[in-house]
Structure 1
Amino acid sequence: MPRKTMEAVTSPSPSTTASSDGSQEEEVTTLQTKKRRVTPKEQTEALQSEYEALLRRLQEIQATQHAAKTHKYQRTQTYELLRRGVTESELVIAGAQSILSSRHINPLKAFIHLPADPAERRAYLEAMRPIRKEQAMTFMEERVRFLNLRRPHRQVDACETDEGDYVVTFFDIVPFTDPDVETSVLQVYNHVIDFFLHQEFKVTEHAEMSTLCETDDNIVPGHIAQSRFLSTTSDGVDVEKNAVTFQYCPGQFAPLFSKAMTIRDSVDVDEVYSYKPEQRMRNDITAVTIIWETPPTHPDEKPVIAVVRWASVRMYRPLCGITRDQELSARETTVRWSEALGRSLREATSRLRRIPNNLS
């Protein structure tokens, strides 16, 4: 009887099946969690996008810088135009000053001829007094229109004319701003009158000159006076000056005590005291001195008294046979004289301490 052979049929065990399934799941998980590789095309597109963004930003910055440069350029152009305009204006002013310096004209010059008769002399000067007041005030108001009377100011212009005369023009402002010194228009005015009529000869003492002063202040007391100076320099040069002083005290201006003025005019012809050019040099002067009370510009300020003076002095070409050095020395004395009034006023007012302004 044939023998049956038994063959074992192998079937997977449960454990083997489970192990195989787990390995497959891990492989799937590994594949799922692995990052996706970016393609070159995608990289190129990303870089292109970033490049375009940076390019836009660069263009914005360049536009801003261009606008700033354009604004700066426009400002530079504007500044240059303004600078040129100022330069052209200064050149025009310089040309005008050159014209004025070459004219040698005294805008306040008045011809004065004094007769020998005392009554006629007085009537002549009394008639001139109101006219000179109006002329001087009009001129001085224009002269100080754009100036600050609370600040010191000084201007001197000297030259020799074609005729050989020596002309000096002075303009100065002397404000009294010392808080420890209180003055009034009347006090300063009185000192100016005293200087012109009685103290001016002291100026020549500092210049080593001897001076004889003859003053007639009785023509119209307090209103008109005449002074004649005969001086001799240290070099032996004789100089003469003959002038009339018109006085305008504070009460003659409105408001009361806010302003005062003196005017000095050289006498052109004096039938009593004639000029002698063959013996002495002649000095002519036209001078206006105004004492102004300037109102305060701020609530915490006080009114300030200011002395404003304009003067034109002409020293005629000498005909008395002196040397050139002697002539130049006499000219220097004229310049020193111009500084004397301001110095004298400061010295006088510095001695005044807290004196009420309403004294009269």
Structure 2
Amino acid sequence: MATHFATCADQDLPIEVPTEAPQSAARAKKAPSKRKCTQRRHTLMAMREKKLQTAYAFAMTPSRQDEPQKMQFSDARFETAQGDYCGMRFGSVQFSGIHSVQQVYDAILFYFSNHEISLSERLGHISVRDDYDVVDGSVYNYRVISTTDRGVVTETSTLLFPRLSSDGACGMVVVDTIDEDELYPYTPSERVRKDISATAVVTLSPNKDGELVATIRQAAYLKIHRPECAISEIAQRELYDGILSWGDVMLKTVRSIVYAKH
């Protein structure tokens, strides 16, 4: 049987999203065959280039960044007719005293490689990560399962596509969510599903004083699916209120890594 993916962007979302977004869930009861693993890896690699190109164009659209040399953020939240709760964020943030794009790029990759630790430390959630696959350091497929302090369990099945240009002038990380995955299906009766489609593009340029400054341009779309499992109203409200905390945790983690020796 061929590996099957369906992406969130294939569906009728209420807004333009930075990348397509596929998704998966509970652990398979037995290990997949070698043939199925090979098919899966080919599928993941085949979507890589398109996702990177689409995400870069989306994040770098001039109309989204009036003055990229200044810190700026634009957030929006809304509820869909299906009862899903969504959040969007566009922005740019600067890191002064940086000597290379790779400094910031590596910090972003470190954050995603230790996603569950950052969530646990900064949000107080108990988070566990299942790494499903890594393809030549070009595609990462993993799931993060988090439990809030009110006992609500959420799951996010993620694809990660990193790239650092050959000249080191631009680094980017694209994150997407798997919508359907025959191998690792979701368990909505036990967990609340969270989707993330986001990109971070890192560039380096001098400011007006001639100092090199790294800029991260962000674009993100997040969705918490209407819970199918029983959770209290206050727990659901807190879940919705924190929908954009993912981006805040990433920036705080990256900043702490970049300036760790200062």
Residue 312 of structure 1 deviates from its aligned partner by 0.5
Alignment of 1:156-235 (within 5 A): 156-177=75-96, 181-216=97-132, 219-235=134-150
Distance 1:237 1:145 in 2: 35
Assess if the C-alpha contact under 8 Å between 2:22 and 2:178 holds in 1.
yes
Return closer, same or farther for 1:113/1:239 CA change in 2, 3 Å cut-off: closer
Determine which of 132, 145, 149 is the counterpart of 2:51. Answer: 132
Which residue number in structure 1 is paired with residue 179 of structure 2? Answer: 268
Determine which of 175, 188, 191 is the counterpart of 1:280. Answer: 191
Residue 171 of structure 1 deviates from its aligned partner by 1.7
Assess if the C-alpha contact under 8 Å between 1:207 and 1:333 holds in 2.
no
Return closer, same or farther for 1:335/1:135 CA change in 2, 3 Å cut-off: closer
Return closer, same or farther for 1:291/1:285 CA change in 2, 3 Å cut-off: same
Superposed CA deviations along residues 2-47 of structure 1, whole A, max 9, x for unmatched, are xxxxxxxxxxxxxxxxxxxxxxxxxxxxxxxxxxxxxxxxxxxxxx
Assess if the C-alpha contact under 8 Å between 1:152 and 1:173 holds in 2.
yes
Structure showing greater Rg: 1
Amino acid at match of 1:232: T
Q: TM-score, normalised by structure 1?
A: 0.62
Residue 138 of structure 1 deviates from its aligned partner by 1.6
Which residue number in structure 2 is paired with residue 242 of structure 1? Answer: 157
Residue 239 of structure 1 deviates from its aligned partner by 0.4
Question: RMSD over aligned Cα, in angstroms?
Answer: 2.2
Instruction: Describe the SS at the equivalent of 1:341.
Output: helix
Which residue number in structure 2 is paired with residue 105 of structure 1? Answer: 15
How many residues align structurally?
241
Amino acid at match of 2:162: Q
Instruction: Describe the SS at the equivalent of 2:68.
Output: coil
Amino acid at match of 1:105: I
Amino acid at match of 1:271: E
Instruction: Describe the SS at the equivalent of 2:110.
Output: helix
Residue 336 of structure 1 deviates from its aligned partner by 2.3
Return closer, same or farther for 1:334/1:140 CA change in 2, 3 Å cut-off: same
Distance 2:54 2:137 in 1: 20
Distance 1:145 1:332 in 2: 24
Distance 2:261 2:68 in 1: 21
| Higher relative contact order structure (alpha carbons within 8 Å, sequence separation ≥ 6) | 2
Return closer, same or farther for 1:346/1:206 CA change in 2, 3 Å cut-off: closer
Return closer, same or farther for 1:314/1:152 CA change in 2, 3 Å cut-off: same
The percent identity for this pair of structures is 25
Residue 206 of structure 1 deviates from its aligned partner by 3.0
Q: Structure 2 stretches of 5 or more lacking a match?
A: 1-12, 25-31
Assess if the C-alpha contact under 8 Å between 1:182 and 1:352 holds in 2.
no
Alignment of 1:1-360 (within 5 A): 104-112=14-22, 117-143=36-62, 146-177=65-96, 181-216=97-132, 219-251=134-166, 256-294=167-205, 296=206, 298=208, 300-352=209-261
Distance 2:113 2:20 in 1: 21
Residue 113 of structure 1 deviates from its aligned partner by 6.8
Distance 1:264 1:158 in 2: 20
Between Structure 1 and Structure 2, which shows a larger proportion of helix residues? 1
Amino acid at match of 1:190: D
Return closer, same or farther for 1:352/1:292 CA change in 2, 3 Å cut-off: farther
Distance 1:201 1:269 in 2: 26
Amino acid at match of 1:343: K
Return closer, same or farther for 1:303/1:312 CA change in 2, 3 Å cut-off: same
Return closer, same or farther for 1:232/1:146 CA change in 2, 3 Å cut-off: closer
Assess if the C-alpha contact under 8 Å between 1:259 and 1:290 holds in 2.
yes
Instruction: Describe the SS at the equivalent of 2:210.
Output: coil
Residue 111 of structure 1 deviates from its aligned partner by 5.0
Return closer, same or farther for 1:236/1:145 CA change in 2, 3 Å cut-off: closer
Superposed CA deviations along residues 266-290 of structure 1, whole A, max 9, x for unmatched, are 0111222210111110001100111
Assess if the C-alpha contact under 8 Å between 1:231 and 1:239 holds in 2.
yes
Q: Structure 1 stretches of 5 or more lacking a match?
A: 1-102, 354-360
Amino acid at match of 1:107: V
